[in-house]
């Protein structure tokens, strides 16, 4: 039997993956060489929201993982064109943020959010995270009703 071997890699588990996190000496160093959310956007799973999470038909409150593979998968049409298309800009996430890291005018301030996460991580370890901007909001588990643009 002729079996063609296909190679795959999970980028987040690969030794070449790197992410720079907040450092007091290197402010605004939020970058990595792979982003699950951006890959999900490119693959047609959803668009970004004001809080910078990805809104999918199943909502925002979840996590993504990705696999790069040589396996042929037939392409499907992406259901959106704009990077924020699924966000209604309702501002609910901004109201839920305990440290005002989000605003309709300025989007999300990653530095304020990161500092808060570091503080709470210290206090509640081994638990980590916040995510209040992703629960109890219109995009938590669905694409929210779009705002009427006048
Ligand atoms: S809560 Fe509203 S403004 Fe915030 S990301 Fe969701 S839909 Fe967008
Ligand atoms: S994770 Fe928490 S601190 Fe960060 S933007 Fe969301 S609500 Fe604010």
pTM (predicted TM-score)? 0.86
Q: DSSP string covering the chain, please?
A: -------EE-GGGSTT--EE--BTTBTT--EES--HHHHHHHTTS-EE-TTSPEEBTTBSSS-----EESS-------S-SSTTTT-----HHHHH-TT--EETTTEE-HHHHHHHHHHHHHHHTT-----GGGSSSTTSSSPPPPPPP-
Nearest to 79 by CA among 40, 38, 46, 37: 46
* pLDDT tens digits, 24-60: 555 556 788 999 999 999 999 999 999 999 999 999 9
* pLDDT tens digits, 104-118: 999 999 889 988 998
Position 150 confidence tier, pLDDT thresholds 50, 70, 90 = very low
Tell me the C-alpha distance between 84 and 90, whole Å: 12
Residue in the block written with tokens 């500092």: 115
Q: How far apart are the CA of 134 and the centre of ligand 2, in A?
A: 8
Mutate to test the pocket of ligand 2, among 131, 136, 137 (most ligand atoms within 8 A of CB): 131
Please name the residue whose Cα sits nearest to atom 2 of ligand 1.
90
Tell me the C-alpha distance between 51 and 103, whole Å: 9
Q: CA neighbours within 13 Å on the CB side: how many for 103?
A: 7
Mutate to test the pocket of ligand 2, among 50, 102, 140 (most ligand atoms within 8 A of CB): 102
Q: Which two tokens stand for residue 141?
A: 């588990």
Tell me the C-alpha distance between 59 and 30, whole Å: 24
What's the pLDDT at 28?
57
């Amino acid at each position: 039997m002729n079996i063609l071997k296909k190679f795959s890699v999970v980028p987040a588990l690969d030794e070449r993956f790197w992410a720079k996190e907040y450092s007091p000496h290197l402010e605004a160093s939020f970058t990595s060489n792979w982003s699950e959310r951006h890959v999900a956007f490119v693959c047609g799973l959803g668009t970004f929201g004001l809080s910078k999470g990805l809104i999918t038909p199943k909502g925002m409150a979840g996590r993504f993982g990705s696999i790069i593979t040589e396996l042929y998968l037939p392409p499907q049409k992406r259901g959106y064109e704009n990077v924020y298309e699924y966000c209604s800009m309702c501002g609910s996430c901004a109201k839920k943020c305990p440290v005002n890291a989000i605003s309709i005018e300025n989007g999300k301030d990653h530095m304020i959010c990161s500092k808060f996460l570091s503080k709470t991580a210290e206090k509640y370890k081994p638990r980590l995270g916040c995510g209040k901007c992703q629960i109890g909001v219109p995009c938590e588990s669905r694409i929210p009703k779009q705002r009427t643009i006048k």
